[in-house]
Structure 1
Amino acid sequence: MKTRMTTRQQLTQSALAALATIATMTALAAASGAHAQDMATQAETMSAQDEALSAQLDPTPQILDTTSMTDDHSVNVPTGWWTYTNVSAASIGTYLSQNNARLTEVKVYGVSNGTPTFSVRMVANSGAYAVPGWWWYYGLTAADVTAKVNANTARLIDLQPYDAGGGTIRYAAVMVSNTGSAARAWSYLMGVSTSQISTQITNSGHRLIDLDSYVEGGVKKYSAVFVANTGADAKSWQWFYGVSPATIASKVSAFQGRIVKLDRHSDGTYNMIQVKNTGSDASAWWYQYGFASMADLNNYALQLASRPVDITTYKDANGTRRYDAAFIDNANTSTRRMRSEFAPTFLDANGNPTKGIFEAYLKEVSGSVKVDLNGSRRAETASSFKSVHLLHSMRQVAAGADTLASAFSYYEYDPVKGKDACPNPALETAANLRTNYNFETGLDQMMAISDNRTTRGTVIRYGGFTPFNNTAAATGLTGTTLRHNIGCGYKNLSTGKYDPTNMRNDTTASNLARIYEGVWNSTLLSNNFNARTEFLESANPSSGVDPTLQAVINEEAAALGKSAIAASFGANIKRWGKGGSYGTCLPDSNGACGQKVTIRSGTGLISLPFKSGGVIAPKVYSFARLISDVPVSCWNCTEETNYVNAYNDASNELYRDEIRAALKTW
């Protein structure tokens, strides 16, 4: 199997799927050593009595589902999605309303005094994921489930048995309307054995879409939901019960399948449903065991621009809460391409995002998002964060609370390092004070030469970090928090220890892009006292492109038979923005440098020369891209250079699809 690319050639969707679907005990161990040991002791072989294989049907291949009228397991149309864990029924209602979403899966997290809390998965109830009606319930008896299905003319999509206390079995259920275009032939079973499930499959010609096990009176029982395996719902599929992770990996590989359901037994084995993942049914997808938190699970999904289609939660043999999940692609074409650009360097050999954080975001100003690869993940961006300092300062100017011509104070912290020094407040003495710039020049230096001294000068000017964080909150930069002086990395100068938890400057690619979009369209910054104009003048304006971006233009122009205009096209591109770079450390248990990491980022605006009626009519895009906390053994060495080069290459690829669209107008 092809697991790594040796060139910058774009990974195809099928190659990426192959890269991502391996789930090995090594990957499990990386997630949790103790849990991996528990799983490794499970038997890796099955007898005929241990394995149940349902009808391995092979109808005419179907394309991936275009709607989730049946379920959402095989829909890879991009959508909003959310997960929550250990939440009450009332909280779920609040989240559903806030997100305009519907539940697609509900798991019981725990039960206290008969009242359960839940882990849930929800999707936006719109577009390909909209259904004509849906309901969810908990605390149901088997008879209650049937009554609710009948009363709502509904069809179950998720049925979760749980012990409500004292061995009393109750059910949580999610159901959708089974009327009109959403109507399906279907069936369900509760409190049955695996042989009864097999009989139902044989007799009905239905396929499983949900399978859960539980113990009642010392006997293992199952609940199961089926849909008719015909027409648009026809899929080649398999199901197994009581199998180990190693066996799951083997079955996935042999069948060329995609997991849509994992249900864990208390002994560490699993029930599993998979569908064929070849031909027109193929999609990039992933699965993983042993996440330590729902946040870790979500970060994994977002880094890969994927969406969880099944989540199971449990306590492992050591009593530690864990989460397992299967994921499907949730990217549009441009985002998928960008993921493929980062993948060869920033995913490990098993297709997992273990080499730091990478993000890419591109949005037409006042228009649609073109690329969103992990764009909402909080990360350190080094000097790209100075765009926040500039925004706050210019908003003060626009409000008439400050003036660019006024005096400006900053300090010299290290004459050798100069602008690159870490601003140490202990060195802010009269002897180190500098007043040779006015405020406008100080901001220009902050952006043009990335001066850490004048950046700290803005913080001093406004009384600390709080005003900047207030501006972030007021302008919708919900993932942005200023905690340290840029230039000091994660080091706490008062303790001498690395402390990213308290010293990291958090922001996101989408937040950084939002700053520039909001300046360009004047929604975040007016031009009172020339504030907007001055922001853009400070943000390193340039015309034309560097050779690496021109190479992208040349490739696209050649493909369109327009090589003759490639140079002119590139000369008409304009850009504004700010980059950033760091080498810093993640701490060991004593706060010393436990792991060296590298950070690179860039954010701003790009104006592409679209034409209308033969006249250039530019379209402006805001962008941001970054790599953060990428582990390296050394700085300024080949290893770090390889990561930086891969980041730079991906950065130029960010605009390729929009460049192609613009070239078509010439």
Structure 2
Amino acid sequence: MTSTVASAAPAVDPERNSTAITGWGTFNSTLPTDINKWATDNNARVIDIEPEAGGRFTAQLVQNSGVFQRALSGSTSWTYGETYASLMLKFIKEKKRPIDVERYVDSSGAVRYAAAMVENTGDTQRTFTVITNKTPTEITSAQSTFQGKVVDLDPVGSGRYDAVLLKNTGVDATGGKWFTSQSPTQLQNLVKSGWRFVSLEPDSPSTFAVVAEPDGINGGKEWWNLINVTDQQISDLQAQTGARVLQVRHYKNASNQPRATALFIDDQSAQIAQIRRDMANVAGGNPYGIYLKQVDGPVLVDLNGQRLHDPASAAKVLVHLTEAMRIREGKDEYSNMMKYYANPSALSDVEVCAYNDDGTPILTNPIEAPVFTTAKAMMWASDNRATDALLDRVGGLPAVNSTAAKLGMTKTKYEIRVGCSVKAPGQTSDENSFTLQDFGKLYEQAFHPTKSVLGPSDDTTRKAFVDSMVNGQPLFKQAIDEEAAAIGRPDLASAFYTTVEGRLKGGAYNKMYCDGTTQCDTWNITRSADGWVSLPVRTSTGAVTRRDFVQGYFFEGPMKCTGGTTPCDGHDPKFENLVKAGDKAMIDSLRPQIRAALETWK
């Protein structure tokens, strides 16, 4: 079937090509009613569709605004249950054209079609054709006769394909190509040769059909493709990169395992993309995350914000806040005296808790101090002995997990005594589990300017809680100087800096990856930090108000020592570079907010 229309002012279809920042959604094996409801509620439209079993569909959607604005949205942007004849009639009568066509067999055994569509009017008008059940040779012949380019290719079995073609003229004459029966190695070679995939579907358990465009057409932004992966791996890459999902196709691989292909395109800002590259460059292929949210406002940066990780000593802020809330409720006092104990084998080592190998506590070598001093030792020196004593004082692991629940930290599990023996009492796991988003909830509710769980800013308990934490202000000194100079007012930097406030808590683990050795060439590394920062903003009258943010980062995973196989301790410079990169990520993510606040001082 061919539809010919007069072109107005055409622009290249953005669905698989634009890196513009937009809202989007992805659905895996979902009922049409649920897809349509989300699309309607979020002013979105379907751009890619894949039939699944049981009348369900995997779908990709974009917000119907900006460069993605189309006349069709919600349920009108796609269709399913069509015969070939009814689908073609819909395109003609309703003046629509397909951007994705998928064939499937319904529950009655009948061949049906689903399609994602745009209007075929105005600047989206194209001359197109849909051909079905063709061999690659037949597609090539049809392409030549039609003088078109393949924009969608759907394997239908036995070496045959359905395809959507547009006239290869004007903005659509991009030099795109299509390939069938590509092995994983051939796919890699296509990427190395400068091709960017806009469609990737399995045409056998181990080969793939591809529609590709010359890479760079999207402004040099990044893109990603996955083959032979699980749905979780797709979710992991999306969370890590923040990229928009273009396409997902499910299939059975050569081992008859359920797997998928997936395509992603980078729609992050240049700032976030650079932060991502900086962190990836030192992460060694391991997971990392960065998160920034304005208090009472939007999430501004979120790469892996929902990924569970063990934050090491950064988790101690939950113990700290639990005790502060007890004091606020009159159950304790910062001036009360308390004891913790030094391990006789390491009297001055703040990282070694006082437990025997069998988990029984060592009650010799007591250190007596006020609760405030003990809390400060936990938060400033990251003293595991002080942390352990405060954990017991607040009621143990159940008490801090209760605090997490009250704060809405739904994924958090505080299950170990940080830095203590694995046999120390009450532990239910070998690691704690937090997310950057959960840390954000904690810091936002602890430091909220008017609704803090610790009361108003002048409350003595809240002030003591703040004073016992590490000052995060110096972290942003250089950025403030640079941003003040960038707006032509370096003279503002000093006064602005002195009114910036911030508190944070970092964490680090170095765990041997080689059992039974004193030195190792691979370590399980954790580096993290989370906190709160408050920027001064001047009103039109010159009064100073506050604009608050919560943020954090993490790196986690096995890393080899510098030099590869050379043994090293857990403080290898390569590992410590993670802290520099994490700090830089927190600074760079806040830079636009620093500049915006400085602008109010001009």
Alignment TM-score > 0.5, same fold: yes
Q: In percent, how many aligned pairs have the same letter?
A: 25
| Distance in 2, Cα, partners of 1:460 & 1:316 | 52
How far has the Cα of 1:597 moved from its partner? 1.7
The 1:578/1:281 distance shift into structure 2, 3 A limit, reads closer
- Deviation string, structure 1 residues 312-368 (Cα, Å, up to 9, x no partner): 33222222333332221121232122123224323xxxxxxx522222222333334
- Deviation string, structure 1 residues 356-404 (Cα, Å, up to 9, x no partner): 2222222333334333333332222111122233334444455566655
| Distance in 2, Cα, partners of 1:582 & 1:298 | 26
What residue number does 1:269 align with? 207
TM-score (norm 2): 0.80
What residue number does 2:251 align with? 314
Q: Is the 1:610–1:662 Cα contact (8 Å) retained in structure 2?
A: yes
Structure 2 counterparts to residues 517-532 of structure 1, below 5 A = 517-521=444-448, 522-523=450-451, 525-527=453-455, 530-532=460-462
What residue number does 1:284 align with? 222
Q: 1:175 aligns with which of 99, 113, 116?
A: 116
The 1:238/1:302 distance shift into structure 2, 3 A limit, reads same
Q: Is the 2:198–2:263 Cα contact (8 Å) retained in structure 1?
A: yes
- Deviation string, structure 1 residues 518-560 (Cα, Å, up to 9, x no partner): 33334452507655444323333465x26xx544444444444
Amino acid corresponding to residue 158 of structure 1 in structure 2:
D
CA RMSD of aligned residues (A): 4.2
Determine whether 1:629 maps to 2:557: yes
The 1:92/1:462 distance shift into structure 2, 3 A limit, reads farther
Q: Which has the higher contact order (CA 8 A, sep 6+)?
A: 1
How far has the Cα of 1:309 moved from its partner? 1.3
| Distance in 2, Cα, partners of 1:199 & 1:449 | 73
| Distance in 2, Cα, partners of 1:400 & 1:225 | 71
Determine whether 1:420 maps to 2:362: no
The 1:387/1:641 distance shift into structure 2, 3 A limit, reads closer
Q: Is the 1:360–1:375 Cα contact (8 Å) retained in structure 2?
A: yes
For residue 484 of structure 1, give the secondary structure of its aligned residue in structure 2.
coil
Q: 2:588 aligns with which of 626, 650, 653?
A: 653
The 1:71/1:476 distance shift into structure 2, 3 A limit, reads farther
| Distance in 1, Cα, partners of 2:396 & 2:41 | 34
How far has the Cα of 1:624 moved from its partner? 1.0
How far has the Cα of 1:262 moved from its partner? 0.8
The 1:455/1:225 distance shift into structure 2, 3 A limit, reads farther
For residue 419 of structure 1, give the secondary structure of its aligned residue in structure 2.
coil
Q: Is the 2:99–2:164 Cα contact (8 Å) retained in structure 1?
A: yes
User: 99-108 or 359-368, which moves further after superposition?
Assistant: 99-108
The 1:392/1:641 distance shift into structure 2, 3 A limit, reads closer
Q: 1:620 aligns with which of 532, 538, 548?
A: 548
What residue number does 1:443 align with? 375
For residue 436 of structure 1, give the secondary structure of its aligned residue in structure 2.
strand
Amino acid corresponding to residue 371 of structure 1 in structure 2:
V
Structure 2 counterparts to residues 97-116 of structure 1, below 5 A = 103-108=46-51, 111=53, 115=54
| Distance in 2, Cα, partners of 1:408 & 1:180 | 76
Q: 1:477 aligns with which of 406, 409, 412?
A: 409
What residue number does 1:326 align with? 263
| Distance in 1, Cα, partners of 2:416 & 2:69 | 44
For residue 363 of structure 2, give the secondary structure of its aligned residue in structure 1.
helix
What residue number does 2:435 align with? 508
TM-score (norm 1): 0.73
- Deviation string, structure 1 residues 279-317 (Cα, Å, up to 9, x no partner): 6643222223332x2122221232223222122332222
What residue number does 1:76 align with? 19
| Distance in 1, Cα, partners of 2:94 & 2:332 | 62
Amino acid corresponding to residue 551 of structure 2 in structure 1:
F
Q: Is the 1:84–1:294 Cα contact (8 Å) retained in structure 2?
A: no
Q: 2:302 aligns with which of 368, 372, 379?
A: 372
For residue 412 of structure 2, give the secondary structure of its aligned residue in structure 1.
coil
| Runs of 5+ consecutive residues of structure 2 not aligned to the other structure | 1-9, 562-567
What residue number does 1:212 align with? 154
Amino acid corresponding to residue 212 of structure 1 in structure 2:
D
| Distance in 2, Cα, partners of 1:270 & 1:174 | 21
User: 329-338 or 578-587, which moves further after superposition?
Assistant: 578-587
Q: 2:182 aligns with which of 231, 243, 261?
A: 243
How far has the Cα of 1:261 moved from its partner? 0.7
| Distance in 2, Cα, partners of 1:503 & 1:338 | 31
How far has the Cα of 1:260 moved from its partner? 0.9
Structure 2 counterparts to residues 76-475 of structure 1, below 5 A = 76-83=19-26, 85=28, 103-108=46-51, 111=53, 115=54, 118-123=57-62, 129=68, 131=70, 132-135=72-75, 136=78, 140-143=82-85, 145-146=87-88, 154-162=96-104, 168=109, 170-171=111-112, 173-176=114-117, 178=119, 183-185=124-126, 186-204=128-146, 206-215=148-157, 219-227=158-166, 235-254=174-193, 256-266=194-204, 268-278=206-216, 281-291=219-229, 293-346=230-283, 355-398=285-328, 404=334, 412=342, 415-416=346-347, 418-422=349-353, 427=359, 429=361, 431=363, 436-475=368-407
| Distance in 1, Cα, partners of 2:325 & 2:27 | 36
What residue number does 1:577 align with? 504
Q: 1:487 aligns with which of 419, 426, 430?
A: 419
- Deviation string, structure 1 residues 152-172 (Cα, Å, up to 9, x no partner): 664433333245589x56345
- Deviation string, structure 1 residues 571-596 (Cα, Å, up to 9, x no partner): 443321111111125698xxxx9952
How far has the Cα of 1:472 moved from its partner? 3.0
What is the count of residue pairs matched by the alignment?
573
Amino acid corresponding to residue 197 of structure 2 in structure 1:
I
How far has the Cα of 1:272 moved from its partner? 0.9
The 1:204/1:84 distance shift into structure 2, 3 A limit, reads same
Amino acid corresponding to residue 604 of structure 1 in structure 2:
G
The 1:427/1:142 distance shift into structure 2, 3 A limit, reads same
